[in-house]
Structure 1
Amino acid sequence: MANNTTFLSLLLVRLLFLVMLFLGSSSFLVNNMTKLTSAKCIEMERKALVNFKHGLKDHTGSLSSWKGEDCCQWRGVGCNNITGHVVKLDLRGKAFDSNEYYYYVPKTFVLHYRRSRLGGKISSSLLKLKYLNYLDLSSNDFGGIRIPKFLSMFENLRYLNLSCSMFGGEIPSHLGNLSSLNYLDLGDDYLIWFNEVSLWPVDLHTSNLKWLSGLSSLKYLNMQNLEVNDTNWLQLVNMLPNLMELHLPGCGLPSLPLSLPFVNLTLLSVLDISGNGLISSIPNWLSNLTSLTKLDLSVNHFSGVISSEFVKLTSLEDLDLFSNRFEGQVPIFFGNLCMLKILDLQRNNFNGEVVEFFGAFSGCPTSSLMSLSLAYNSFEGELPDSIGILNNLQRLDLWGNSFWGSIPKSIGNLSSLQEFYLSANQMNGTIPESFGQLSKLRFLYLRSNSWEGVVTEAQLMNLTRLEDFRISTEKFGSLIFNVTYEWVPPFRLKILEIENCLVGPRFPVWLQVQNELTHVSLTNVGIADTIAEEWFSMLSSQVVHLDLSNNQIKGKLPINLEYPELYTIDLSNNCFEGLLPLWSTNASNLILYSNLFSGPIPSNMDKLMPKVRFLLLSKNRLNGTIPSSICTMKNLEYLVLGTNQLFGELPHCWNKFQMLKLLDVANNSLSGNIPSSIGSLSSLGTLLLSSNNLNGQIPQSLQNCSNICIIDLGGNRLNGKLPLWIGHNTTPFLELLRLRSNSFRGSIPQQWCNLKSLHILDLAHNNLSGVIPTCFANFSLSSNGSSITISVDQISLVAKGRELRYGWTLQFVNSIDFSANSLVGEIPEEITNLVALGTLNFSMNYLSGRIPENIGNLRNLETLDLSNNNLSGPIPQSLSSLFFLNHLNLSHNNLVGKIPTGNQLQTFDDPSIYEGNPLLCGLPLTKCLGDVTSNVPPLNGGGLNHSDNGNDLDMAWFYYSMGPGFVVGFWVVLGTLLIKKTWRHALFQFVENMTERITLMIALRRARL
């Protein structure tokens, strides 16, 4: 018992000792940890950082925290907690967000962005940071200076990132001295230009990569978008045994060796050599990269069948062969890569069917493939049922091929599928009901196909996560949404696009309940219902795009709604009524043409829609005047107010515009002069003022619009002479000039022959006089299309005997119309050099002379109207070679001879084409008398041409006058003999005497013989 007591006493003493020891140690540790965490930076290193800061340009004050004694507390500075030495310097700038400015980078943004980044010089005072192991100066702006050579003297440096910082020149080979370096990033992620302002306009390059051999510890290397001109690049990279990631996209690599003596890159998991334009087959040495998890060979010129030794890449997790120029069918050995997770073969030249390709994956016990892209190739045929094998697939991209038929029923097996892209193919079948089993589907793109059949609740009822649905078919009504009107779907879409599919005529509930939409497009879906104002009120305030165009939707729209994010409003080609719906001060596109909107244009339009670029309000019932506030809408590029009921004068404030490219106020009741301030629209490309009551002359200031392509002033009361400046190199891009139906006088200026780009010239129905200039043969009349921008209201031209309206096809029209003037003289022979001409109309003038013999050279001519002139001579036989001619009018001239036959002329059987030419004969007119013209030499190539000095016309008159002359002469002689008896006796006596003499002469000749 005593022993036990003694033992317990000793044990208790020891425990107390241990507790006291522990408490003492803790106190010691706490005191020392306090000292460690409170360690301050070294004074010498603090001064070095201050000197470094003085060499920098810091416009935004990002280094404002660099003050005080403790530099370890400064932004981007990291110190060792024990020694206080600076070991880390992280001054990464703000990275450029390419998604925010994907299409358009404002110049002001570029300048502001560059000023927000650090710049200047990098001071060598940094060398005093001898313990520095981490240096990041990426995403800054050093204005093209060279990478400092002294950076190679940081012996402890393990991380160096100088990417996207506008360094230039040759990469210093001294970087090879950084033997401890694990991470080196010199790449350039972006290259964005705007008005010759570039974020990264410098040229960082290397012509020799031998310095890489010194980086024995390197694990990560990125030289994206830098110029690498070393043909031995692969051999040098192959000497880095620890390398795990290699990024060399867009480096202009000179070649890719097909073989390597040995492969040292056994740890390489990421290889990116995309965008180098490499011309090669897939090299065999890639099969030895057994640790590879990502391979990017995109944007090159690889060709041939990929080597079957890729089967060895069993650990491959991410294979990206994006956008190469492969040829032939997809090799089926991909199916043997059972660990494959991401396979991207898009933008290549693969062709053929994919039955074997999908079937090859059946060799794997379970397919690991999660993402498959075959987009933008030339695949064809039906999608096979074997597509259902890929049951772990989350993303399937087949966009931009030539697949046809129906979606296979096995698609329902892809229970994990979240994204399915099948747009821009030739799918002409149905969508199976098994589609409704894809409960995880979020993105469904089925646009630009030829779908048929019916979509019911079965295909939609289980798509609970669907948020982006886009579908369209080529032929309207071939795909019908036969969904019960009252059906409420389980999904709430954010993006909805349906085009050319029959959804109406009623506006179904399954669409009405979509209250989370940010992008809605229901274009040409057959809705002829009245959409209640409540639906517009129910739309999400975050809606960005609203397109209900090309339906027959009725009703008035609420005018007090606010959609702060709404960018595009397109309600065109409907039956909406009431005032203009001006819902968003941020809207850029307001497209409301072809409706029944009425009332005036608001006088404060500039405040209601200050950011609008496209204002398309034509073909409505708008009235009142055009408010001058429109001139202060500085972002406006397209102003289309044609075919309304606007009146008054045009505003005189056009000099306030900077961006306006198209002005269309045609088909209104505007009056007054054309304002001279329109000449200040330096960006103007299209001016449409036709069919108004404008008067006065064309302002000379219009010559300042040096970018103008279309001028249409037809159907007004304009007068004066045609302006000479139009041909004085002030309008070098002018392609259409329409001054029809005005009161212009004088001659057509010779200077207009300098309009080399012109292919539509309409001066009809004016008071022009003088001759047609022979130099019009200088017109290019390009038939390959042009750059003109046309209004939604189209432009009227007289062709094929009637008025036709042209929209975007106007760029392919070539026409000259001088009809209904007082032009004199002959048709210039040079006009036949305009071989691309489609319409030639010189009717209702006082032209004389012949139709040019080589008129048949105008082989693309569709309309020829020379009626109501004083033309003479025969119709040239070459007219029969105009195979595209479908409208001809030669009536009311002085043409003579037989109408030519053959080819296209055989189809013109309307006599009115030739009426008013009394000396013409032949079909479709009456036959020529006695068919005497059958003995007349041919009029083309048969001796009758311009070199005969008019003999062809003399011969024609000779032959045509023989018959009447003979008749008249015969009856003059015979009539005299019948009346005068003495003449008859004398004639008979003369005949009898002559008979006796001839008989005597014959008898004497016989006697001699």
Structure 2
Amino acid sequence: MSSKLFLLLEYLALSSVILFQLEPRLGASNNITRCIDEEREALLTFKQSLVDEYGVLSSWGSEDGQKDCCKWRGVRCSNTTGHVKVLNLRTSDYEFARRKFLKGKISPALLKLRGLRHLDLSKNDFGGSPVPEFIGSSQQIEVVSQLHSLKTLVLRWCYLPPINPSFIWLFNLSTSIETLDLSDNHLPSSSVYPWLFNLSRNILHLDLGFNHLQGSIPKAFQHMVSLRFLSLASNELEGGIPKFFGNMCSLNQLYLPRNKLSGQLSELIQNLSSGCTVNSLEGLCLYANDITGPIPDLGRFLSLKVLKLGENHLNGTINKSLSHLFKLETLSLDGNSFTGVISETFFSNMSNLQMLFLADNSLTLKLSHDWVPAFQLKWLSLASCKMGPHFPNWLQTQNQLISLDISNIGISDTIPDWFWDLSIELFFLNLSNNHISGKLPDLSVLKSDDIVIDISSNNFDGPIPPLPSNSTFLNLSKNKFSGSITFLCSIVKNTWNIFDLSSNLLSGGLPDCWLNFNSLSILNLANNRFSGKIPDSMGFLHNIRTLSLHNNRLNGELPSSLKNCSKLRVLDLRKNALFGEVPTWVGGSLQNLIILSLKSNNFHGNIPFQLCHLAFIQVLDLSLNNISGKIPKCFSNFSMMIQEKSSNPIIGLANEILVVPGYIYYFRYLDNVLLTWKGSEHEYKSTLGFVKYLDLSSNKLCEAIPEEITDLVGLTALNLSRNNLTGLIPPKIGQLKSLDFLDLSRNHFSGNIPSSLSLLSGLSVLDLSYNSLSGKIPLGTQLQSFNASVYAGNLELCGLPLPNKCADEESTPSPGRDDDANTLEDEDDQFITLGFYVSLTLGFFVGFWGVCGTLMLNRSWRYGYYNFLTGMKDWLYAAAAMNKSNL
């Protein structure tokens, strides 16, 4: 599901409340039992133009019991005239998350609803339907005059085509329109901006969010003097907040999140506080922009109820003026660089606070053990703040919580019993990345729908308790849970989407009741002690996208039922005791695979050519098995390995949403895999999508490397070591210019090292050792920079960095100053012969004994020599004394 859905729904509850506050309550009267025949037929004609796969309009019919269109779903009539006044076919958040919406075309028959005041068709798929044309085509001007009563037009998320600017006159005539919502239709600036100059001055609610608006915020908004609600969320707007916003005295809600707005926050706030807007503004959302600086004084915005400044580049301490905003209901400062300490006095005036988001800052919360907050929170996110080591006792007073994230806050404690009584109404609970110990209670008592529970990376132990069947995300990984998981077979019906029990101490066989879990998208049971065979019923996981069973004690062959899991993208079965041949259906039926790891098992036989159908494969690891035969030439069909770049670094369920009536939450699950790199295993998670990895090492593969392998120019790692491969290293191996890791060691390769290998400037790991390579190592900075061990065991290789020189190097001096010096030293050494040492010895004896021997034997010469030395000493002394005296 697109992340835009989360961002759109972020303010859905608030905007919907405002929208319907602007509309008078319309309902069918008990006195009107029949709608107008012409309008009933118009609605039925409209229904015929739609594709209703889920029976959304099942109440619309022509049978006797269904003729009163005022009782149809989404239809409301006037209690005096019987005319249809409201047509609301908005798809609910719950239905939209499950793609249960209407499709098709919008019939012009709706134009016969002359009294229509409120039209809402949002979150349906009317792709390509020319809505503006059906409302304002040149063939029906007289029709437009019939729509003068229309006050609300909501076409949110209807996949509208770009609006033709020639129809902008529509809103010149429709001066009654007060609410217009065209959000999330991918409309460009050229399509939308011309409308802004022609909109009625009476418009109260305008939502243009989630389109493709670019440039600075247009000045056209300053003419909409009645505007109360404005959303330009999730566009590509740049610059700051124009000063004219400060003079819009009716402006109540200003939503500008997810744009490219920049500048100092103090300057933006100054533009808003310079006029009357400071008194009217209740909601200000600048979430996820490029705004910098500290928080300025906001004490003048006394009406402010919603303040969202998260995911910017704000810094410094949190301004104390926020503590004076006593009407504040939502405070979002998460994802910035705030520092400092927040004490309980900061919250003393915030009795209305319901949503508090301070996550992902360098904040320390010093809150006393017996603190009783003035507020009652519903949403709380303090992830990665500093609060431990004790479990926050003040949470006991928060009995309205529905969402709690206190992950990675430094708790090293057990969870008190009162917390689980408090948690019954929670639909989102994240306690991950702490050091919480103890046992979990019965979690099946949690009441909410689509519950998210993440207690991973703690020290919980004991058996896994009963789990809620109405959960969508369950992550209990990286704890110390033990025992079997046979309890799963007692869960007959569930809504689980993600289930992660990896890295625990669980044992026993895998249960054979997966038919009951057909909504699962991710199942991770890796790093446990499970044994036995993979059960056949796993083939009923028709929606599974990630199946990770690695590092267990599973045996037997792969069940053929897994071929029914055609949506699989990640299949990780490494480090088990599985055997048999690699099934041909893996390539034939699982063609969406991105990651396939069968490493460290007992598979044998040839690599089936059907694997070549895996066009999306990015990681293929068949290493440490008993696979024989040749490397298939058709590996060149791996399309993703041919592409040098990947657009998405993440593999997994990213940008997913959880929808609960009236609320939304965002979560994601990142797939990960351990890959052998530089001699050890490394986990790849947030960058896994960038990895292109082919590992066939430690098998019994034979014959030559097919030249087609060199077509995989996107490969970042290629490991064919420890096989029986022969022949030459492909001459075109230098085409693999994305390679960072290449290991061809311990095979039987012969011939020269291809000169093209020296072109791989990004190569950081190379191993060609223990082959039968010969000749000179190609010159190039990269190949000479490796340690000599990279080339060990190739007795006929020569040249740097090996010590043995090639034949042409002995007569031709190598370039470089150091080599020249060595050459000169070698040439000098040629003159130091045996005669040189004999002459040196004779010279010593003649010189020494010729002088010293004569002085020892002749007394008069000895005395004379002594007197000479004494006189020389006296002369030097006298000369020194005279020089000293002169100075």
Q: TM-score range by the shorter chain?
A: 0.7 to 0.9
Shift of 1:466: 1.6
Shift of 1:611: 2.6
Give the match for residue 738 of structure 2: 860
Q: Does 1:115 align with 2:58?
A: yes
Give the match for residue 543 of structure 1: 426
| 1:840 counterpart letter in structure 2 | L
Counterpart contact for 2:704–2:727, Cα < 8 Å: yes
Q: Which secondary structure state, in structure 1, belongs to the residue aligned with residue 359 of structure 2?
A: strand
Q: Distance in 2 between matches of 1:525 and 1:446?
A: 17
Q: Distance in 2 between matches of 1:217 and 1:699?
A: 64
Shift of 1:649: 2.3
Give the match for residue 723 of structure 1: 608
| 1:756 counterpart letter in structure 2 | F
Counterpart contact for 2:717–2:741, Cα < 8 Å: yes
Shift of 1:481: 1.4
Q: Distance in 2 between matches of 1:839 and 1:506?
A: 46
Counterpart contact for 1:418–1:443, Cα < 8 Å: yes
Q: Which secondary structure state, in structure 2, belongs to the residue aligned with residue 441 of structure 1?
A: coil
Q: Distance in 1 between matches of 2:186 and 2:794?
A: 74
Counterpart contact for 1:208–1:230, Cα < 8 Å: no
Counterpart contact for 1:841–1:866, Cα < 8 Å: yes
CA pair 726-575 structure 1, distance change in 2 beyond 3 A: same
CA pair 861-787 structure 1, distance change in 2 beyond 3 A: same
Shift of 1:623: 1.3
TM-score of the superposed pair, with normalisation by structure 1? 0.64
Q: Distance in 2 between matches of 1:857 and 1:699?
A: 31
Q: Distance in 1 between matches of 2:272 and 2:647?
A: 48
Q: Does 1:925 align with 2:802?
A: yes
Give 1:566-965 correspondences, 5 Å limit: 567-607=451-491, 610-702=494-586, 703-727=588-612, 729=613, 731-750=614-633, 752-753=634-635, 755-757=637-639, 759=641, 783-784=646-647, 789=652, 794-908=672-786, 910-926=787-803, 928=805, 932-933=809-810, 935=812
Give the match for residue 954 of structure 1: none
Shift of 1:217: 10
Q: Distance in 2 between matches of 1:118 and 1:465?
A: 48
CA pair 708-201 structure 1, distance change in 2 beyond 3 A: farther
Give the match for residue 982 of structure 1: none
Q: Distance in 1 between matches of 2:183 and 2:304?
A: 36
Give the match for residue 26 of structure 1: none
Shift of 1:804: 3.2
Of 364, 373, 391 in structure 2, the residue corresponding to residue 507 of structure 1 is 391
Of 430, 434, 450 in structure 1, the residue corresponding to residue 321 of structure 2 is 434
Counterpart contact for 1:93–1:118, Cα < 8 Å: no
| 1:911 counterpart letter in structure 2 | A
Q: Does 1:359 align with 2:242?
A: no
Q: Distance in 2 between matches of 1:301 and 1:162?
A: 30
Q: Which secondary structure state, in structure 1, belongs to the residue aligned with residue 335 of structure 2?
A: strand
Shift of 1:354: 6.0
CA pair 77-734 structure 1, distance change in 2 beyond 3 A: same
Q: Distance in 1 between matches of 2:799 and 2:730?
A: 21
Deviation digits for residues 468-500 of structure 1 (CA, Å, limit 9, x no counterpart): 1122226xxx22112233333222222111111
| 2:514 counterpart letter in structure 1 | I
Q: Which ranges in structure 1 are unaligned for 5 or more consecutive residues?
A: 1-71, 79-85, 95-106, 127-134, 142-155, 253-272, 370-389, 760-778, 939-1009
Q: Does 1:211 align with 2:141?
A: yes
Give the match for residue 402 of structure 1: 290
Counterpart contact for 1:833–1:857, Cα < 8 Å: yes
Give the match for residue 339 of structure 2: 452
Give the match for residue 378 of structure 1: none
Deviation digits for residues 311-346 of structure 1 (CA, Å, limit 9, x no counterpart): 676565555666666565543233334454445555
CA pair 799-851 structure 1, distance change in 2 beyond 3 A: same
CA pair 316-705 structure 1, distance change in 2 beyond 3 A: closer
Q: Distance in 2 between matches of 1:787 and 1:793?
A: 8
Q: Distance in 1 between matches of 2:600 and 2:333?
A: 46
Q: Which ranges in structure 2 are unaligned for 5 or more consecutive residues?
A: 1-28, 45-50, 90-101, 654-668, 816-887
Q: Which secondary structure state, in structure 1, belongs to the residue aligned with residue 298 of structure 2?
A: helix
Q: Distance in 1 between matches of 2:215 and 2:692?
A: 46
Give 1:265-276 correspondences, 5 Å limit: none
Q: Distance in 2 between matches of 1:310 and 1:560?
A: 51
Counterpart contact for 1:89–1:136, Cα < 8 Å: no
Q: Distance in 2 between matches of 1:890 and 1:878?
A: 15
Q: Which secondary structure state, in structure 1, belongs to the residue aligned with residue 562 of structure 2?
A: helix
Q: Which secondary structure state, in structure 2, belongs to the residue aligned with residue 539 of structure 1?
A: helix
Q: Which secondary structure state, in structure 2, belongs to the residue aligned with residue 448 of structure 1?
A: coil
Q: Which secondary structure state, in structure 2, belongs to the residue aligned with residue 744 of structure 1?
A: strand
Provide the alpha-carbon RMSD of the alignment.
4.7
More displaced, 464-473 or 782-791?
Answer: 782-791
How many residues are treated as equivalent by the alignment? 746
TM-score of the superposed pair, with normalisation by structure 2? 0.72
Higher RCO (CA 8 Å, separation ≥ 6 residues): 2
Counterpart contact for 1:874–1:898, Cα < 8 Å: yes
Give the match for residue 145 of structure 1: none
Q: Distance in 1 between matches of 2:557 and 2:163?
A: 64
Give the match for residue 220 of structure 1: 150
Of 73, 76, 98 in structure 1, the residue corresponding to residue 33 of structure 2 is 76
Shift of 1:859: 2.1
Deviation digits for residues 803-845 of structure 1 (CA, Å, limit 9, x no counterpart): 3333353332223334334445444455444332222333334
Q: Does 1:465 align with 2:408?
A: no
Counterpart contact for 1:210–1:236, Cα < 8 Å: no
CA pair 91-536 structure 1, distance change in 2 beyond 3 A: farther
Give the match for residue 495 of structure 1: 379
Counterpart contact for 2:623–2:699, Cα < 8 Å: no
Q: Distance in 1 between matches of 2:360 and 2:468?
A: 31
More displaced, 878-887 or 828-837?
Answer: 828-837
Counterpart contact for 1:76–1:90, Cα < 8 Å: no
More displaced, 206-215 or 667-676?
Answer: 206-215
Shift of 1:782: 5.8
Give 1:192-591 correspondences, 5 Å limit: 192=124, 207-208=137-138, 210-212=140-142, 215=145, 218-220=148-150, 225=155, 233-235=167-169, 238=172, 243-245=175-177, 250=182, 278-279=190-191, 293=204, 317=228, 329-344=240-255, 351-353=262-264, 358-360=269-271, 364=275, 367=276, 369=277, 390-408=278-296, 410-473=297-360, 478-532=362-416, 534-559=417-442, 562-565=445-448, 567-591=451-475
Counterpart contact for 1:136–1:162, Cα < 8 Å: no
Counterpart contact for 2:308–2:332, Cα < 8 Å: yes
Deviation digits for residues 368-388 of structure 1 (CA, Å, limit 9, x no counterpart): x3xxxxxxxxxxxxxxxxxxx
| 1:453 counterpart letter in structure 2 | G
Q: Distance in 2 between matches of 1:444 and 1:713?
A: 48
Counterpart contact for 2:261–2:290, Cα < 8 Å: no
Deviation digits for residues 589-616 of structure 1 (CA, Å, limit 9, x no counterpart): 2210110001111345342763322221
Q: Distance in 1 between matches of 2:161 and 2:310?
A: 37
CA pair 459-823 structure 1, distance change in 2 beyond 3 A: same
Q: Which secondary structure state, in structure 2, belongs to the residue aligned with residue 447 of structure 1?
A: coil
